[in-house]
A and B are shown apart, each in its own frame.
Chain A
């Protein structure tokens, strides 16, 4: 009788499955070791020293953020510019800014934001993507939201909206009142501003291009 072929041998395929799985897992773990440091949050010193981080530190709220086309990478990236007032201050310390971001991130989970909105494109599709919401022209000086909420800055308009969303409908589909307090709203706006500074490899593409007010120049 002829020798049995290895191709019809279950042991061979069992070992192959184990090797392939092991190899893929090790590659994923190795890539994870490369990725984690790259997405670890930067520090205040990085921001002051002009060190670009994919995820900047919480004190990025002290700076003006824009979303500009990068000629080399051929897509838009967030650019951190000069100092900018955030709730009347541009000297939020690392601890203060960190506490505000902590409150905001917790708030985004406690209020189930991502079960209507998308954050970094992930979540539900019932309400707008919030990845670059901070840069949305609707909230800027030319947009409608400041006038609607009777506030004179972006952050105050956003905070007011978050506290009383159903008072300011923008569509038949409205955001419900989630019992967001004034302090939580401040934290959530800091969270949104911080998220807009994350380098998302050009997602979303052409953000706010129709209004042309995003580049901030």
Chain B
């Protein structure tokens, strides 16, 4: 079908979204392998071990989100700046370099897996640091691609109309790209290693990515319900202040136990306790604006909904709630050092990770997929289909189910392995053998399968919803 997109930047965005969706599928697939291994330990043993399945699970997570984030920026730039993205030719070339690099990295993870204990392994196979396993040649490639992306953003922002949203994105994406450099070094000192490692992981996920979500939510509110730009951008600036104000020093909650001084207890506890506040603000902001715009519409005597893209807006609202619940509440559960001493590195962390990455990022990026489908098909008002409702319900239900199962398992682990047995090898396996733990892992697998089936329906919906005759064109 012919695309109704005239903007090259938006076309590129759809390429980014397509690859993101494929890698999203890979993330879920390898997550299922790892989940099966908890229940049936012999599954693919010494063929595709848990470590490899998990690397693929979490790296695919990061990669698809980064792809979808880049795609989102290329999507909104023409709308915000009023001009075509500057340097789109370079952007398209970098896209293919990025895709090729990711494919090679995945194949090496899958088929080479580990290497000898020397620098060639670090350069060409794996760096073996959680989330940042990508070998160093790929690191350099990622930096080059990210710099190209930042160039596109800056050149376009400076030439066209630099809105508040674009200004926030310009500052945020520069920090996002720059922080990656902190994770590229090597040191024999594991404490130093983890100190800088958190500069990437934490300052991405709990600072720059959150600000990115704020900017995307602002764009979504303007495009989908016609919220007033001035109000939305004021909220955005307040959110930036709150997110960076709490998130940057919130990094302290990762410095409780890695060899760093004790003062990080107080700093980490204080600032990470503040981290949920902006998430509450974002939640209120989305619902408030929605109610306000609908109220304005109804005051004019028109009863119909203000929403121009139902499935996308559903995901944006789920983002507002999921971000607060997954990142805010589930994060705060175990962020105080008195609690974290026992919960650090247990299934509690895993429960938080699942709900937070999903609630804070997956939701809004899926929303962006739907916005792109709407734009590509030239639809004025896009309605939800049965498939979009099924996909949303199954994915949300599945992830919430996994989170609850992992939380229960984490509770057992904390009590048995940590509080009672003092974290030894034997204590670890005593905790893992507990009935509640084992059943928690069974339920996690069941819920994981539901999530995956929901994902398949989501893909079918994304591919077919644009052709549905019920939309207003």
Q: Is B181 an interface residue (CB 8 A)?
A: no
B-side interface size class: 35 or more
Complex: A81 Cα to B129 Cα, angstroms: 32
Complex: A24 Cα to B254 Cα, angstroms: 16
For B284-310 the 0/1 string (1 means CB < 8 A from A) is: 000000000000000000000000000
- Nearest B residue to A211 by beta-carbon distance? B424
Whether B249 contacts A203 by the Cβ 8 Å rule is: no
Complex: A61 Cα to B117 Cα, angstroms: 20
Whether B259 contacts A128 by the Cβ 8 Å rule is: no
Complex: A207 Cα to B164 Cα, angstroms: 52
- Nearest B residue to A53 by beta-carbon distance? B259
- B-side contacts of A109, CB under 8 Å: 121-122, 126-129
Known contacts: A8-B234, A205-B341, A211-B424. The answer to whether A123 contacts B122 by CB under 8 A is no
Picked from A24, A55, A124, the residue with its CB within 8 Å of the CB of B54 is A124
For A168-209 the 0/1 string (1 means CB < 8 A from B) is: 001111101111010010010001000100111111111111
Complex: A142 Cα to B118 Cα, angstroms: 35
Q: Is A21 an interface residue (CB 8 A)?
A: yes
For B105-118 the 0/1 string (1 means CB < 8 A from A) is: 00000000111111
Whether B267 contacts A120 by the Cβ 8 Å rule is: no
Complex: A203 Cα to B264 Cα, angstroms: 14
Whether B424 contacts A138 by the Cβ 8 Å rule is: yes
- B-side contacts of A137, CB under 8 Å: 424
- A-side contacts of B237, CB under 8 Å: 10, 13-14, 16-17
Q: Is A114 an interface residue (CB 8 A)?
A: yes
Looking at A16, A54, A129, the one whose CB has the most chain B CB atoms below 10 A away is A129
Whether A121 contacts B257 by the Cβ 8 Å rule is: yes
Q: Is B93 an interface residue (CB 8 A)?
A: no
- B-side contacts of A174, CB under 8 Å: 41, 45
For A131-168 the 0/1 string (1 means CB < 8 A from B) is: 11100111000000000000000000000000000100
Whether B244 contacts A24 by the Cβ 8 Å rule is: yes
- Nearest A residue to B254 by beta-carbon distance? A122
Complex: A138 Cα to B241 Cα, angstroms: 50
- Nearest B residue to A22 by beta-carbon distance? B244
Known contacts: A17-B240, A31-B267. The answer to whether A110 contacts B118 by CB under 8 A is yes
Picked from B122, B133, B424, the residue with its CB within 8 Å of the CB of A106 is B122
Known contacts: A115-B51, A125-B350. The answer to whether A179 contacts B188 by CB under 8 A is no
Whether B245 contacts A20 by the Cβ 8 Å rule is: yes
- B-side contacts of A138, CB under 8 Å: 424-426
Q: Is B233 an interface residue (CB 8 A)?
A: yes
- A-side contacts of B117, CB under 8 Å: 103-104, 106-107, 110-111, 184, 187
Whether B345 contacts A123 by the Cβ 8 Å rule is: yes
Q: Is A118 an interface residue (CB 8 A)?
A: yes
Whether A21 contacts B245 by the Cβ 8 Å rule is: yes
30 sampled A-B residue pairs with Cβ under 8 A: A13-B238, A14-B164, A16-B241, A20-B244, A35-B261, A39-B195, A41-B188, A41-B192, A54-B191, A55-B192, A98-B188, A102-B188, A105-B188, A106-B118, A106-B119, A109-B121, A110-B121, A112-B52, A115-B52, A115-B133, A120-B191, A120-B257, A122-B345, A123-B130, A125-B345, A138-B425, A166-B45, A172-B41, A204-B423, A210-B422
Query: B-side interface residues toward A, CB under 8 Å?
Result: 34, 37-38, 41-42, 45-46, 49-52, 54-55, 113-119, 121-122, 125-130, 133, 164, 167, 186-195, 197, 230, 233-234, 237-238, 240-241, 244-245, 248-249, 251, 254-265, 267, 341-342, 344-347, 349-350, 413, 418-429, 432
Query: A-side interface residues toward B, CB under 8 Å?
Result: 8, 10, 13-14, 16-17, 20-21, 24-25, 27-28, 31-32, 34-36, 38-41, 54-55, 58, 73, 98, 101-116, 118-129, 131-133, 136-138, 166, 170-174, 176-179, 181, 184, 187, 191, 195, 198-211
Given contacts A10-B233, A28-B249, A205-B342, 16 further A-B contacts (CB under 8 A): A10-B230, A20-B245, A21-B240, A106-B186, A110-B116, A110-B125, A114-B128, A120-B257, A121-B344, A126-B54, A176-B49, A176-B51, A198-B259, A205-B418, A205-B423, A211-B424
